Structures are given as C-alpha cells and as structure tokens.
Structure 1
C-alpha cells in the first residue's frame, strides 16, 4: 500500500514504468539461466539444489566483474 501511494505521488513514475520492459527482459533471462528445474534433484536433494543455484549465481556475478560492469551484482534485486 505504501509503495502504491508513493508511485501515485511520483510525477515521473509513468516514464520510469515505460522502462520496465527492459527490466522484465533481463529478469526473464536471469531466471532462465539460474533456475534449475530438475524436479528429481530438487525434490530428493535440497542441499544439492541449493548448491547448484549458488554456483550459478556466483558465476553470473563473476561474469559481471570480468566484463567490468559498473554496478556489480545489479541483478541481485531480481531474486
């Protein structure tokens, strides 16, 4: 409720909301890259599933650092 009210008061919200398509595209790509949808592994071994997700996340963070992305871990807010 609070965030909705803040968005109503913000006169630049419409312009910011138009940029959301790019955000959703990036989110979809990250979600498809990081998410392991292997049901057997996920159901039988939660520890292994968590480890695989962590490794994938760390690889993405390393890639951003290697490519000298200004805002490191910028995709973290999408998880």
Structure 2
C-alpha cells in the first residue's frame, strides 16, 4: 500500500464520520404543592384551573400545582 492511498483512505474516513447532533434540552415545570415567586420576573398564571408560575428571566423557575386526581374522573 502506498502512502498516497493510505492518506486518501484516512481523509475519506474522516469525511464519512457523522457529525454529533447537539440537542438543547428544555426544562419542564416543577410540580409543587405550594408555589412561590423566586425572583422579580416570576408571575402567577391560571391555566386549566391550576396555578402556574412563569418566569421571563429564568426558565428553571417554572412551577405548577399537581393534578387534582378527584377532578379527573
């Protein structure tokens, strides 16, 4: 095997390797029995009969009340 064919094989192998996929994970709501505002940008919202805390500054401040199982049936 010549040096040229070996070098060409290494270049082709490098081109055929798939690029890693970057996944941005999003945080969901924290389920808490007692909701509280954690910063000045947090505010309360009522959605489908449940209280939620939304935050425009920090997405990790999002909270919601747990489901009332008695109302589901």
TM-score, normalised relative to structure 2: 0.24
> Which is greater in Rg?
2
Whose strand proportion is higher, 1 or 2? 2
Greater relative CO (CA pairs within 8 A, separation 6+): 2
Give the TM-score, by structure 1 length: 0.22
